[in-house]
Amino acid sequence: MKHEREDAKRLDEQDELLSFKNEFYTTPHTYYMDGNSLGLLSKRSEQTLLTSLEDWKQHGIEGWTEGEQPWYYMSEKLGEMTAPLIGAQAHEVINTGSITTNLHQLLATFYKPEGRRTKIIADTLNFPSDIYALKSQIELQGLDANEHLIQIKSSNGYTLSEDDIISAMDEETALLLLPSVLYRSGQLLDIEKITLNAHKRGIIVGFDLAHSIGALPHQLHDWGVDFAVWCTYKYLNSGPGGTGGLYVHEKHLGQKPGLAGWFSSSKDKQFDMEHDLTPAETAGAYQIGTPHILSSAPLLGSLEIFKEAGIESIRKKSLQLTQLLMDLVQSELHEYGFRITNPLEDHRRGGHVSLVHSEAASICKALKQEGVVPDFRSPDVIRLAPAALYVSFEDVYDVVMILKEIMKDKKHKNFSNQRGTIA
């Protein structure tokens, strides 16, 4: 479908979320399309971080209970604020750790190989750290990861088939871990269908929500998902290295965590200093160490924005933005060798668009020189994420026009087609 700049401007005029762009620190003449790697700083996140610093300054150790944002209960408060984004009960969610440490915690809790049921189903397209964690947890059980980790293959190198995943489930499968949205292609998996079929076979189900939380709604509790993990520095805009989060379905709450620690304790028992753990009755039991307050505080401000904007409205705009982006790529860039690899259907697409091109690395470098911040994934993927809270429809139009000019004038030929140390 052919779109003109006036079409993009018209969509901006109708956008009920447009005012939220003013909440964020954006750079003039720069188009930030990498919110699926690191979201931008909002003024509210800046303020809640400064508030925690002020609590430290004014109260010292009393900041744990007496500050404006008491630290002792911050993880639970953030869990409660996050729960509506993923369709969870407040007591099922906690803000803690990092995505990989949380995954280790939940695997240590739920991966209990017995008899023939010893295998874990994952996939060949997942982010490496998830696979590292799965392999190490299998090996900690004295098992061979080459034999007990089953990775579902992709037929095209970019997407997965839910039917292939379901076909691999059997009486030898103990646990399944998959991404909700594939990081490279942006494919959104059918979480409900996968969970239903896994549970029919007695399999524990976990999901990595890194590329979906904050971009689209979930119904984890109603779908019966056993556990989930995520980072908060992408669409949730908590800042670099922001504290992660986890969800555990209430049917599992009350049991002892696989990796017990100081903050696994029931809040009212924690300072009894007993050497026998009384775990929290909530997802708080899956915390390990002391909360990272200064890496959690920005999320207080960010989640207030999400509450006001509404995740359904964010998803609606996100789909419109990515649809416009795909339409423009197809109408304006068809002669330059780009291929869209994310699913085109709304119900199968996350929050970013993935373009494959044989010169993707050099094109990304050229885009940066022209004021566009994209994301490169080896070997040939350009990811463009128009985050709904701070990217406009006219921004999307401009990005494609800049990309067209780069290709027309061969500006990318001035750069090496090799990724940098960090991509």
Q: Is 51 annotated as a binding residue?
A: no
| CA distance to 41, 236, 353, 411, per residue, from 423 (Å) | 20, 21, 17, 20
Gap between the Cα atoms of 243 and 231, Å rounded: 7
Q: Is 127 annotated as a binding residue?
A: yes
Q: Is 99 annotated as a binding residue?
A: yes
* Token output for 69: 């944002």
Gap between the Cα atoms of 172 and 87, Å rounded: 30
How does DSSP assign 269-331, residue by residue?
TGGG--SS--B-SSGGGG--S---HHHHHHHHHHHHHHHHH-HHHHHHHHHHHHHHHHHHHHH
Gap between the Cα atoms of 45 and 302, Å rounded: 5
Q: Which residues lie closer than 8 Å to 278 by C-beta, 6 or more apart? A: 265, 266, 269
Gap between the Cα atoms of 36 and 215, Å rounded: 9
Helices (H), 5-161: 5-13, 43-59, 63-66, 74-86, 99-110, 128-140, 145-148
Residue 89 has phi, psi (to 5 degrees) of -80, 150
Q: Which residues lie closer than 8 Å to 389 by C-beta, 6 or more apart? A: 17, 20, 21, 23, 24, 237, 305, 309, 314
Region of 26 please: left (phi>0), alpha (psi -120 to 50) or beta.
beta
Q: Is 129 annotated as a binding residue?
A: yes
Q: Is 96 annotated as a binding residue?
A: no
Helix (H, G, I), strand (E, B) or coil at 245: strand
- The DSSP bridge pattern shows strands 381-384 and 353-356 to be antiparallel
Which H or E element spans position 35? Answer: none
Q: Is 158 annotated as a binding residue?
A: no
Helix (H, G, I), strand (E, B) or coil at 355: strand
Q: Is 208 annotated as a binding residue?
A: yes
Q: Is 190 annotated as a binding residue?
A: no
| Residue type for position 232 | T
Q: Is 82 annotated as a binding residue?
A: no
Q: Is 118 annotated as a binding residue?
A: no
Q: Is 276 annotated as a binding residue?
A: no
- The binding site for pyridoxal 5'-phosphate comprises 99-100, 127-130, 208, 211, 233, 262, 290
- The binding site comprises 99-100, 127-130, 208, 211, 233, 262, 290
